[in-house]
Amino acid sequence: MDSFLIKGGVPLHGEVTISGAKNAVLPIMAATLLTPEPCVIRRVPNLSDVHFMAQILEWLGAKVKFEGDTVRVEARKIRGQGDYDLVRKMRGSICILGPLLGRLRKARVSLPGGCVIGARPINLHLKGVEALGAKIRIEAGYVEATARRLAGSAMFLGGRAGSTVLGTANVMMAAALAEGITVIESAACEPEVVDLANFLNAMGARVAGAGSPTVTITGVKQLHGAEHEVIPDRIEAATFAIAAGATNGEVTLKGARADQMHAVIDKLNEAGVRVERRGANLLVRRDGRLKPADVTTLPYAGFPTDVQAQMMALMTLTPGISIITERIFESRFMHVSELARLGADIEIEGPSAIVKGGKPLSGAPVMASDLRASAALVVAGLAAKGTTQVNRVYHIDRGYENIDGKLRQLGARIQRIEES
């Protein structure tokens, strides 16, 4: 397994282009299954998760062609079952359920895998498609959904940790080809849901209210091909912003959208990291000394759970006490023990991590447990004295396009050690 070797202590300087959003492109790729006509998706990041999704689409019968950061998909004839070995590797693969059900009125999809960050049940996905008229059976590791017809319905998709992004996406896609009107209450408001709605509408769907807690879908008889450009990845942008603050550097985030990052920008400003709009870009630099900040993860537009680990790495460098509370996933503190190997002083109390920051970090071998934990360890390694080796970086390749190359462009001393 590949690893990163990082020699820390170098401030990051320069410009970095933010790639397309992983969490947007996966359901958009799945949505191409809703039409037999060709679709073109632009600003597609080169990620292992994207290639997994392409393999899933090909297994289902679609033709997928990559041309740089553009993907062309033609799903003229498709089957209704996803391959177990492919689907189980990636949580986002569950989003093929909605389009298969919408177009074929049947779907057989493996229960998904992904990062080990706590229970992420799909009960809200199933509740949503059942409300449209699907019959659900779970057997031998598969979800089997069938429907003689799909009919619009009103439903509530709120859960214990708030709304469900992929559940909202699945229902939107299935409802696009259902009869009548579907109203989703407590819908996810994330920008990635809005991006999917924009793609569906470009295909001829009638989706209104995306980005609000109430989304209305008026079903149509068929959808056609469309072209679409994916939004920039707000989580990647936040990670590079935090890395700039952690190393006391100055970095321009090209293409980052401040309007999708309000909570992150607010907390970075509170922590002494200034984020300024410069046209279509963001400029990030320290504003004096780092300051402690308390963070609670919440559904959008709150502070993203996908930035919690990186923010914790920044707070380990900050004199004083910061409290980081995780309200989305119950097991998303697996990076704490690895940050401790670098010298961080962090105590876990229930859903909160108490960070006693300000002590210098020193390099050590660490192990990545999930995608965002990997990013946190890279941020910490960039700021630490000495050499840090981050092992199992296949996690980070799932969600960050060429992160080591982009960091080297900013002056970081980071190299990938390839192992067979």
The domain segmentation of the chain, as residue ranges, is 3-19+233-417, 22-220
> CA-CA distance, 274 to 285, in Å (whole number)?
5
pLDDT digits (tens, 9 = 90+) for 159-217: 887 899 999 999 999 999 999 999 999 999 999 999 999 999 999 999 999 999 999 99
pLDDT of residue 161: 79
Q: Tens of pLDDT along 207-246? A: 999 999 999 999 999 999 999 999 999 999 999 999 999 9
CA distance readout (Å), 323 to 320, 338, 374 = 10, 18, 21
- Is the pTM higher than 0.85? The answer reads yes
C-alpha pair distances (Å), 212 with each of 39, 82, 155, 193, 228: 27, 31, 15, 10, 21
What CATH homologous superfamily does 3-19+233-417 map to?
Enolpyruvate transferase domain (3.65.10.10)
pLDDT value at residue 240 = 98
Distances (CA, A) of 18 to 124, 260, 283, 324, 387: 32, 13, 13, 26, 27
Pair of tokens at residue 321? 């006490």
Per-residue burial over 49-78, b if 16 or more Cβ lie within 10 Å, else e, is: bbebbbbbbebbebebeeeebebbbbbeeb
Model confidence over 372-395: pLDDT tens digits? 999 999 999 999 999 999 999 999
Side-chain-side CA neighbours of 412 within 13 Å: the count stands at 36
What strands lie across the sheet with 273-278, from one edge to the other?
13-17, 250-254, 281-286, 273-278
Q: What is the residue type of 293?
A: A
Q: State phi, psi for 312 to the nearest 5 degrees.
A: -65, -40
User: 285 Cβ partners below 8 Å, 6+ apart?
Assistant: 244, 245, 249, 250, 251, 273, 274
Domain spanning 22-220: CATH superfamily: Enolpyruvate transferase domain (3.65.10.10)
Return the active site residues.
115
Decide if 3-19+233-417 and 22-220 have a common fold.
Answer: yes
What's the confidence (pLDDT) of residue 89? 65
pLDDT of residue 117: 36
Q: Are 363 and 387 in contact (CB under 8 A)?
A: yes
Given pLDDT bands bounded at 50, 70 and 90, which one contains residue 14? very high
